Amino acid sequence: MLFTELGIDSRLAKQLSHQGIVEPTEIQSLAIPTALAGHDLFAQSKTGSGKTLAFLLPAVQRVIKQRALSKRDPRVLIVTPTRELANQVYTQCRLLIASHTLSVVKILGGENFNDQVKALNKDPHFVIGTPGRIADHINQRSMQLQGLEMLVFDEADRMLDLGFKEQLDVINDAANHRLRQTLLFSATLDHAEVNATSRNLLKSPKTIMLSDAHEKH
């Protein structure tokens, strides 16, 4: 199976092949067509199974290929539990959009707030960050999510374990509910708080659950 057979643009697939990534993992082969079809998605598979590309490829493809549904950026917001994970997602996003005139901004806790306000004022297409600081920008009105088309909660289990429930609610409330598609990823199967939260954040989601036994490496 190839990424192009999942509906991924050949230019994106070529970019991946430069990184030695040619065959989708199981979670990618299931999540990518579902996300490209516009469904909300609740996906669970273990750490190291390739969840980052499972949401980044549909997100990048949406921005490259589909006309914006509104004039307001950002079109995609990706929320991750830690600075380290946000950096990893940011690096992969930069690689994928390298040959396109698209912009991505990182919004991390512990960094200069006003510099982030300036970066957000340039209307980036993608924002990737940690929940506390993103919620701060929403509360300070320095981040507007009225035009948001895709909202991704990466490692939702870890965000809830770290006590970010309130921040996730702030983000959910601020993000456009009519336009947006929401993808929620978890490394833990059957995490009670994730299950409860997913009911709040997702609209008629498709669910993908991969037990360890079915995991492909």
CA–CA distance, 122 with 197 (Å, rounded to integer): 32
Q: Which one, 41 or 119, has the nearer CB to Mg ion?
A: 41
Contact partner, 28, from Mg ion, ligand ADP, none, Cβ < 5-8 Å per class: ligand ADP
Residue linked to tokens 């993908």: 208
132 forms part of the interface with ligand ADP (CB under 6 A): no
Interface residues for ligand ADP in 3-22 (CB under 6 A)?
21
Of the candidates 152, 178, 201, the residue with the CA atom closest to the CA atom of residue 70: 178
Residue 117 beta carbon to Mg ion: minimum distance, rounded to whole angstroms: 28
Interface residues for ligand ADP in 44-63 (CB under 6 A)?
47-53
Length in residues, the chain: 217
Residue 92 beta carbon to Mg ion: minimum distance, rounded to whole angstroms: 10
Distance of CA 125 to the CA centre of its chain: 13
25 forms part of the interface with ligand ADP (CB under 6 A): yes
Which letter does DSSP use for residue 101 in this model?
A: S
Residue 24 beta carbon to ligand ADP: minimum distance, rounded to whole angstroms: 5
CA–CA distance, 22 with 12 (Å, rounded to integer): 11
Q: Which one, 45 or 119, has the nearer CB to Mg ion?
A: 45
**Residues in a beta bridge with 181:** 150
Residue 96 beta carbon to ligand ADP: minimum distance, rounded to whole angstroms: 12
SS3 109: coil
Question: Applying CB under 6 A, what is the total number of residues that bind ligand ADP?
Answer: 12
112 forms part of the interface with ligand ADP (CB under 6 A): no
In this structure, what are the phi and psi dihedrals at residue 44, rounded to the nearest 5 degrees? Answer: -125, 125
- Measured from the Cβ of residue 217, the count of other Cβ atoms closer than 10 Å reads 7
- Considering only 42-50, 69-77, 170-178, 205-213, which stretch makes contact with ligand ADP by CB under 6 A? 42-50
**Nearest residue to Mg ion, using CB?**
51
Question: In the sheet that 126-129 helps form, which strands lie side by side, from edge to edge?
Answer: 104-107, 126-129, 76-79, 150-153, 181-186, 41-44, 206-209
Residue 19 beta carbon to ligand ADP: minimum distance, rounded to whole angstroms: 7
Interface residues for Mg ion in 48-67 (CB under 5 A)?
51
Q: Are 189 and 157 in contact (CB under 8 A)?
A: no
* Binding stretches for ligand ADP (CB under 6 A): 21, 23-25, 28, 47-53
* Binding stretches for Mg ion (CB under 5 A): 51
